[in-house]
A and B are shown apart, each in its own frame.
Chain A
């Protein structure tokens, strides 16, 4: 069974804090993704990565950065958290030939 593990289910942070969201997958997938999910907007892609140390901006990268130092781990960084970054964050991984993305359980982040 593919497992995508996000380090926290719930996080509460203050405005201006630096926030790290961690994601680990155990299936040796090349591709990893970070989305945010907001009611009525579906999922929107923040960043993705096709390989170690490679990253590409998604549709809403502003205010975020990512790090992929190892194949199994993909981190999302909020350099200076703001209230409009309060959301559900979902990590996913996938192998190109399998055509499926596998999602983690999500991290609900509240920025106060």
Chain B
């Protein structure tokens, strides 16, 4: 059974600081997704990582994938309040079939 674990589950940080959210998973997969969810809203796709060593960046967020370590990271650079949200990683259990297993989510709060 595939398990996807995020760390930390809660993160409170100050504006301007850097931090990293970790996503570990327990079985082989080379497709990993990051989603963002604002309070009361649905999930929005952030990044799709499709191979070992993949790195994607959008603004202050950068995601990477190490399939050998079964680890993905979401790095936040110089955080701003607008990035406050819950972030989920998800692993594709069946390659290309989009059968996703989600992590528990990381609730990120960025304080002025």
Q: Chain A: residues with CB nearer than 8 A to chain B?
A: 31, 33, 35, 40-45, 48, 50, 58-59, 90, 92, 94, 96, 99-106
Contact = CB atoms under 8 A, between A and B. Distances in A.
Contact of A105 (B42, B96, B98, B99): B42
Contacts of B100: 33, 43, 45, 101
Contacts of A50: 97
Interface stretch (B14-22, B43-51, B77-85): B43-51
A58 B42 CA distance: 20
B88 A102 contact: no
B68 interface: no
Interface string B24-60: 0000000101000000011111001010000000000
B88 A42 contact: yes
A103 B31 contact: no
B88 A96 contact: no
A48 B99 contact: yes
B9 interface: yes
Nearest to A105: B42
A43 B96 contact: no
A43 B43 CA distance: 10
Contacts of B45: 100-102
Interface of B: 4, 9, 31, 33, 41-45, 48, 50, 88, 90, 96-105
B50 A103 contact: no
Contacts of B97: 31, 50, 96
B102 A43 contact: yes
Contacts of B101: 45, 59
A41 to B, nearest CB: 6
A44 B44 CA distance: 17
A31 B41 contact: no
14 contacts: A31-B97, A42-B4, A42-B105, A43-B43, A44-B102, A45-B100, A48-B99, A90-B43, A99-B33, A99-B50, A100-B33, A101-B98, A103-B44, A105-B41
Contacts of A59: 101
A73 B72 CA distance: 34
